[in-house]
Amino acid sequence: MTVADSTFARWPRAGRLTPQALLSPLAAALAAYLTLVPLGFLLYGSFLTPIIRGEGGTATVQHYLKVYTDPTSLPLLGNSLAFAAGTAVVAFTIGALLAWVTERTNTPLRGLFSSLSLVPLIIPGILFSLSWIFLLSPRIGLLNLVLRRALGLEGGPFNIFSLGGMIWVEGLHWSPLAYLMMAASFRSMDPALEESAIIAGVRPLLVFWRITLRLGLPTIISVFLVLFLRGIETFEVPAIIGLPAGIPVFTSRIYLAVKGYPSDLGLAGAYSTILLLLSLGSIALYARATRQVASYTTITSRGFRPRPLDLGRWRYPVAALMVGYLVLIVVLPVLVLLWNSLLPFYRPPSSQAVALLTLQNYAAVLTLPHIRRAMTNSLLLSLGSATIVMALTAVIAWIVVRTRWRGRGLLDQMASLPLVFPGIVLGVALARTYLTLPVPIYGTLWILLIAYITRYLPYGVRASSAGLLQIHRELEEAAEVSGASWWRRFVRVVVPLLGPGLLAGWIYVVIVSARELSSSILLWGPGSEVLSVVIFELWQSGHAQELAALGSLLIAMLVLVIAAGRRFLRLPGLQY
């Protein structure tokens, strides 16, 4: 029997208390508490009447009757599906075309574009939405003002406060994700069929439509479903653009149910179950689309080197379009935020406006007590949640990958369950949980920490599992032969080798925690403000200039985090 058999295949005998014997049940119990308990309370609370002045809390089905019989429910469903589908179409169309251009053609600057493709993901969704309001608002939108003056129009040609405006902003925001996923597919696809078609005289655009897209059909379906899921669960655009426009979707209706008076968590729970079912359906379709892909296989043992498609005279116009995309998704949103942050009140760019530029807004946001408290809270929650997520998921990944514990598959599924929880639904579930349990943490930093850990647990598991699969067991076996205990092997061998993956996952969780809004908006209380909530509150109270200053500082902070992480990952000893 080998060391691997004794260490990894067999589990410690009953009655023998070892770290391994305690580890799996504890990890499973914690994962169940973080995922299954809120889900149970969400469903339970959806059958209770609201508690008003100590009365209520009785069993009822009125919430579901209201949801399914209310005449506004069908338009609500239609708005939600149209918004999500439109978002997926816009994001996929832009992302797929850009991926094909950078991976399959000889367009100039495609290498630079690939390097800059992650930059748009840094901008939080709430700030991206607000920046496009500054650009395309019918009254104050900068682009509308420019077009009105240039074309002599009476009103702005674009209206961001519409379903089309919502789809444009959300689709543009998620187009970098579509680009990254499609670029990976194009990069690994054998171009032999495409090259044969070109040799046969088929036009490049027809090759792209009839061959390239069909070979990538599983990836296309999966990318579209991921984008649809992002559109279904998003909160920022529906709240900031949809509510003023009178276009409700499920996430904004859930928010109004919780924030109304009296707060109706039961009705919010009933709406949340529908949103949860839509998310589950999307993920089920995604799993089915990626399960049977043998008929689309193009990567074999035969090596290949793709030959870039020569666009001829169209090379430079296509490169100009790529630059224009970066201007739309990065330069314009950031510049309009910076411009507003330097003005005492909103004014379009002019010589008179330049004379009014000031740093007063930055001084204000850095001196206001609740904003300084929000900065501290966001920093603590981001660092704390990232550290706990990666520490916990490193252990869960070790159990799933390295052991033959019978429950390891269930543990992996429980740790991945938050993927089906839209942020707003998780907020409702946790609110109901800790308003029911005798644990007085609602409205404190503790419930926000639990929300962040729960929501980003699946991403930590994926990062840790991927890194652990690349580490051979013989290194741990050698340490065991030398007499090292399990804990010493895990801390001194496994964790250091997982270092790059753990650090990358840690940086990602820090970034997404700092910009999280959809759960935080339902769970925060006095003294537990975070930056995303403060930005949302500033917008609702009409303090656009202070909001722009605070948003600019947040973007600068996230850029510094990513720059420091990339620099740290290049240090000797972290490049395996």
What lies within 8 Å, CB to CB, of 401 at 6+ separation is 465, 468, 469
Q: Tens of pLDDT along the chain (576 residues)? A: 444 444 444 444 544 556 666 777 888 889 899 999 999 999 998 888 777 666 667 888 888 888 888 888 899 999 999 999 999 999 999 988 888 888 777 888 877 777 677 777 788 889 999 999 999 998 888 888 888 888 888 777 889 999 999 999 999 999 988 888 888 777 666 566 666 666 666 666 676 666 666 666 777 787 888 899 889 989 999 999 999 999 999 999 999 988 877 778 888 889 988 888 888 887 777 767 656 544 444 444 444 555 666 777 888 888 888 888 888 888 899 999 999 999 998 888 888 888 889 999 999 898 989 999 999 999 999 999 999 999 898 888 888 887 777 777 888 888 888 888 889 999 999 999 998 899 999 999 999 999 999 999 988 888 888 777 777 777 777 877 777 777 788 778 788 877 777 888 888 899 889 989 999 999 999 999 999 999 999 998 888 899 999 999 998 888 888 777 767 655 444 444
Q: Give the domain ranges of the chain.
A: 1-44+360-576, 46-133+164-292+306-336
Number of other CB atoms surrounding residue 500 within 10 Å: 16
Is residue 309 classed as helix, strand or coil in its secondary structure? strand
Domains 1-44+360-576 and 46-133+164-292+306-336 fall in the same CATH topology: yes
DSSP one-letter string for 164-211: HHHHHHHHHHHHHHHHHHHHHHHHHS--HHHHHHHHTT--HHHHIIII
What's the pLDDT score for residue 292? 52
Asked if CATH classification 1.10.3720.10 holds for the domain at 1-44+360-576, the reply, yes or no, is yes
Q: Residues 465, 554: contact at Cβ < 8 Å?
A: no
Residue 189 backbone phi and psi in degrees, to 5:
-90, 125
DSSP 308: P
Residue 57 backbone phi and psi in degrees, to 5:
80, 25
What's the pLDDT score for residue 172? 92
- Numbers of helices and strands, H then E, in the chain: 31, 0
User: What's the per-residue H, E or C state across 489-506?
Assistant: HHHHHHHHHCHHHHHHHH
What's the pLDDT score for residue 294? 42
What's the pLDDT score for residue 17? 56
Give the CA radius of gyration of the chain: 26
Give the helix ranges, DSSP H, for 515-571: 520-523, 531-540, 544-569
Task: Domain 46-133+164-292+306-336: give its CATH code.
Answer: 1.10.3720.10
State pTM to two decimals: 0.85
What lies within 8 Å, CB to CB, of 557 at 6+ separation is 514
What's the pLDDT score for residue 243? 92
DSSP 105: B
Which of these, 372, 368, 349, lies nearest to 360 by C-alpha position? 368
Residue 469 backbone phi and psi in degrees, to 5:
-65, -20
What's the pLDDT score for residue 28? 85
